[in-house]
Amino acid sequence: MRKSYRVKKESEFQRVFETHNSVANHKFVVYQMEKPGQKHFRVGISVGKKIGNAVHRNWVKRRIRQTLLEVKPKLRSDVDFLVIARSAADGLSMAETKKNLVHVLKRAHLLDEKSED
């Protein structure tokens, strides 16, 4: 993802957390914040140390980024959101990661309703 699509600063992460608008399943938690007039969505990805060592955490982040790239045209543009991986996300295949992440994005109403995967 290009820099313009990322939430990077600690203050931006905290602003999204403070909205207390979250949706979760067993593998991921998604926090979101409305930003009317924004050209495109911005996403922050967090994978905690409970997942494992740095290799495992980066592996999970790459799979999350790839899933987001695949569903990018269907994502709403007027939001900043954070994807937080739970410890159960470690060891998921790419298909399982995509299935679980799409599920939580649909529950958060971040994907278009007409998207059926």
SS percent in the chain: helix, strand, coil, step 5: 45, 20, 35
Amino acid at 24: A
Contact 77, 5 (CB under 8 A): no
For position 96, what pLDDT does the model report?
94
Per-residue pLDDT of the chain (117 residues; tens, 9 = 90+): 677 777 878 888 788 888 878 899 999 999 998 888 788 888 999 999 988 899 999 999 999 999 999 999 999 888 889 999 999 888 889 999 999 999 999 999 988 765 454
3-class SS of residue 34: strand
Q: What is the pTM of this model?
A: 0.86
Closest CA to 41 of 83, 15, 77: 77
Rounded-to-10 torsion of CA 3, 76, 84, 4: 10
Q: Which domains, and CATH codes, for the chain?
A: 10-108 (3.30.230.10)
